[in-house]
Amino acid sequence: MTFTVRWTTEAEESFRLIIHYLEENRSEKQTQKFVRIVRNKIRKIADFPHMFEASASNSTIRKGVITKQCLLFYQVENDVVVLLYFWDNRRKPRY
């Protein structure tokens, strides 16, 4: 069964910021490749929502590796995968 995917505002904004960074600092080809990778990972998550490990700080949140530089945090609620936010590993963590 494929789960429905829902983007939060935070996921949309954090994804947009990463795309903006790539457009400004990398090639169009690299930006398009990143978008394809994200789409493919989201499709896989929709098919296998528990494929990534639960977060150590909150077991209801899962942390998926998109690329070496990007993580996706999401929750599974019944038959819906809720995309919470994308994390660019080049950023400094918030404390």
Q: Position of tokens 């296998």?
A: 48
Domain containing 51: what range? 4-88
The whole-number pLDDT of residue 95 equals 47
Number of domains in the chain: 1
**Residue 93 counted as domain residue:** no
**Residue 94 counted as domain residue:** no
Per-residue model confidence as pLDDT tens for the chain (95 residues): 899 999 999 999 999 999 999 999 999 999 999 999 999 999 999 999 999 999 888 989 999 999 999 999 999 999 999 999 999 987 665 54
Contacts of 23 (CB under 8 A, 6+ apart): 31
- State pTM to two decimals: 0.90
**Residue 9 counted as domain residue:** yes
The whole-number pLDDT of residue 30 equals 95
**Residue 54 counted as domain residue:** yes
Cα–Cα nearest to 2, from 82, 64, 84, 80 = 80
The whole-number pLDDT of residue 64 equals 95
Report the CATH number at residue 33.
3.30.2310.20
**Residue 11 counted as domain residue:** yes
The whole-number pLDDT of residue 13 equals 97
**Residue 82 counted as domain residue:** yes
Q: Check the CA dihedral 14-15-20-22 and report its sign.
A: positive
**Residue 19 counted as domain residue:** yes
The whole-number pLDDT of residue 91 equals 67
**Residue 20 counted as domain residue:** yes
